């Protein structure tokens, strides 16, 4: 078989396609360094549709880097509530503080300097450097890995760091010197909309199919290769939503680790009976106790299997926060893991 792959032609096809088909996205409207940075951090491990509403609200609330450097963690957590990977927003604040101290309140404008900043790794540095500053540098995210794996039939495990560096060098050779921004975005856009994960790639409408080795030899659909992931550990918990009159009890999680700095309901290790829960909270004078729904929440490496109770008490404890449902929704960032219980309170 004669396999066709012309680098210059592929680049032109990709850029032409992108000019016609680029999605209209909020952060593309005015690609200022700040907006590009905020969007790229939000887009780490997160889909475009999920980011859209968060982006608009974040920019409206925190319009620039000096403001971000001085924003309370509580406010940041609330702006990030439900988006996941909460460390990202705390790193952004640290990053903003470094920008104020060392770079005149702005992001530095080179790949090398960006890479030094908290929360900015190889991909994000490449994305900001190319999209915001026009530097001719690759931005290799999961989309780009998938597209190039298929285009060149590269069969190594794309989760390996060494393989990612190798891809960056390869992609670098394809970037037109003065169009790195459009080229990088085009590759990611193709990966997100045509050369998709988790479903058959839409090769029939792909603008670069005739220069894609994977398509031509029929291997595109089973690339890229990834190492199998290991099983998650399961944690059993009993969620106890404490109520005193019209107020509910929440407490803040540790500032490090899982769901850092977010608020949660009380909980006990393992599955506890109504009687055991009642016994545990007897100091608070339990007036009534009722079953709430079971729930499950999956993280990267852990699964929470939850049982729940609504525990009405007459003697509120002094630790944590007692607040109405309205106050809870307005001011306290609750992770999605507790959604079933937060939703249950709506019916109370």
Partner DNA sequence: GTCCCGGACT
Partner DNA sequence: AGTCCGGGAC
Residues 186-205 close enough to bind DNA by CB under 7 A: 191, 197-199
Query: Which one, 46 or 61, has the nearer CB to DNA?
Result: 46
> Please, which of residues 38-57 interact with DNA by CB under 7 A?
43-47, 49-50
Q: Which of 40, 189, 264, 312 is catalytic?
A: 40
Which segment (23-31, 96-104, 169-177, 329-337) binds DNA by CB under 7 A?
329-337
| Residue 214 or 311 having the CB closest to DNA | 214
Closest distance to DNA from the beta carbon of 61 (Å): 19
Under 8 Å between Cβ of 58 and 79? yes
From residue 318, alpha-carbon distances to 206, 251, 283, 313 in Å are 61, 11, 12, 13
Considering only 201, 335, 342, 344, the residue that binds DNA (CB under 7 A) is 335
Told to check if 255 binds DNA by CB under 7 A, we report: no
The string of DSSP letters for 67-87 reads HHHT--HHHHHHHHTTTS-TH
Q: Do residues 249 and 266 lie in contact, with contact meaning Cβ atoms separated by under 8 Å?
A: yes
Q: Could you tell me the end-to-end alpha-carbon distance of the chain, in angstroms, rounded to an integer?
A: 68
Q: Measured from the CB of residue 228, what is the shortest distance to DNA in angstroms?
A: 8
Min. distance of Cβ 19 from DNA in angstroms? 22
- Tell me which residue of 137, 244, 128, 140 sits closest to 188, measured CA to CA: 140
Task: Return phi, psi of residue 105, to 5°.
Answer: 80, 10
Which residue, 147 or 286, is less far from DNA as judged by CB? 147
Residues 9-38 that bind DNA (CB under 7 A): none
Binding to DNA in span 57-116, by CB under 7 A: 82-87, 91
**Closer residue to DNA in complex, CB, 210/303:** 303
CA angle 241, 247, 252 (to 5 degrees): 60
- Sites for DNA among residues 167-186 (CB under 7 A): none
Annotation says 40 is catalytic: yes
Backbone torsions φ then ψ of 16, nearest 5 degrees: -60, -45
* Residue with Cβ nearer DNA (244 or 265): 265
- Structural tokens at position 139: 């931005």
Spatial CB neighbours of 247, under 8 Å, sequence gap ≥ 6: 316, 322, 323, 324
Nearer to DNA, 47 or 275 (CB): 47
In the window 113-152, what residues touch DNA (CB under 7 A)?
A: 117-125, 141-143, 145-146
Distances (CA, A) of 344 to 77, 326, 348: 22, 14, 7
- Say if residues 154 and 224 touch (Cβ distance below 8 Å): yes
- Provide the 3-class DSSP secondary structure of residue 16: helix
- Rounded to a whole number of angstroms, the minimum distance from the CB of residue 185 to DNA is 12
How many chain residues bind DNA (CB under 7 A)?
A: 48
Total count of residues recorded for the chain: 348
Rounded-to-integer distance, Cα 215 and Cα 146, Å? 13
Mask: binding to DNA, 210-249, rule CB under 7 A, as x and -?
----------------x---x-------------------
Q: How far is the CB of 229 from DNA (least distance, A)?
A: 7
Give the Cβ contact number of residue 269 at 10 Å. 9
Site string for DNA, 282-321 (x = CB under 7 A): --------------xxxxxx--------------------
Rounded to an integer, what distance in angstroms lies between the CA atom of residue 23 and that of residue 124? 20
Q: Please identify, using beta-carbon distances, which residue of 87 and 247 lies nearer to DNA.
A: 87
Phi, psi at 238, each rounded to 5°: -115, 110
Q: How far is the CB of 246 from DNA (least distance, A)?
A: 26
Residue 252 Cβ vs DNA, minimum distance, rounded to whole Å: 13
Residues marked active site are found at 40
Tell me which residues touch DNA (CB under 7 A). 43-47, 49-50, 82-87, 91, 117-125, 141-143, 145-146, 191, 197-199, 226, 230, 256-260, 296-301, 335-337
């Amino acid at each position: 078989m004669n396999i066709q792959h012309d680098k210059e032609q592929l680049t032109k096809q990709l850029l032409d396609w992108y000019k016609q088909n680029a999605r209209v996205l909020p952060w593309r409207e005015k690609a200022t360094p700040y907006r590009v940075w905020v969007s790229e951090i939000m887009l780490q491990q997160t889909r475009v549709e999920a980011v859209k509403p968060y982006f608009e609200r974040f920019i409206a609330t925190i319009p620039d880097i000096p403001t971000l450097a001085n924003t309370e963690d509580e406010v940041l957590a609330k702006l990030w509530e439900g988006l996941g990977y909460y460390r990202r927003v705390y790193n952004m604040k640290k990053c903003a503080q470094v920008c104020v101290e060392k770079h005149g309140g702005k992001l530095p404008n080179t790949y090398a300097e960006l890479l030094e900043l908290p929360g900015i790794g190889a991909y994000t540095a490449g994305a900001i450097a190319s999209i915001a500053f026009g530097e001719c540098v690759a931005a290799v995210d999961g989309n780009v890995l998938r597209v190039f794996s298929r285009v060149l039939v590269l069969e190594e495990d794309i989760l390996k760091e060494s393989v990612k560096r190798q891809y960056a060098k390869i992609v670098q050779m394809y970037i037109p010197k003065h169009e790195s921004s459009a080229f990088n975005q085009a590759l990611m856009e193709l990966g997100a909309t045509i050369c998709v994960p988790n479903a058959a790639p839409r090769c029939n409408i792909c603008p670069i199919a005739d220069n894609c080795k994977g398509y031509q030899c029929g291997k595109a659909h089973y690339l890229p290769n990834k190492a199998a992931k290991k099983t998650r550990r399961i944690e059993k918990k009993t969620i106890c939503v404490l109520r005193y009159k019209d107020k509910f009890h929440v407490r803040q999680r540790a500032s490090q680790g899982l769901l850092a700095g977010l608020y949660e309901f009380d909980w006990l290790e393992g599955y506890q009976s109504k009687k055991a829960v009642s016994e545990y909270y007897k100091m608070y004078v339990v007036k009534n106790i009722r079953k709430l729904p079971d729930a499950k929440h999956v993280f990267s490496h852990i699964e929470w299997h939850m049982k729940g109770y609504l525990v009405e008490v007459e003697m509120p404890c002094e630790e944590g926060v007692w607040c109405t449902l309205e106050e809870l929704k307005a001011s306290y960032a609750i992770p999605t893991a507790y959604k079933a219980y937060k939703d249950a309170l709506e019916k109370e």
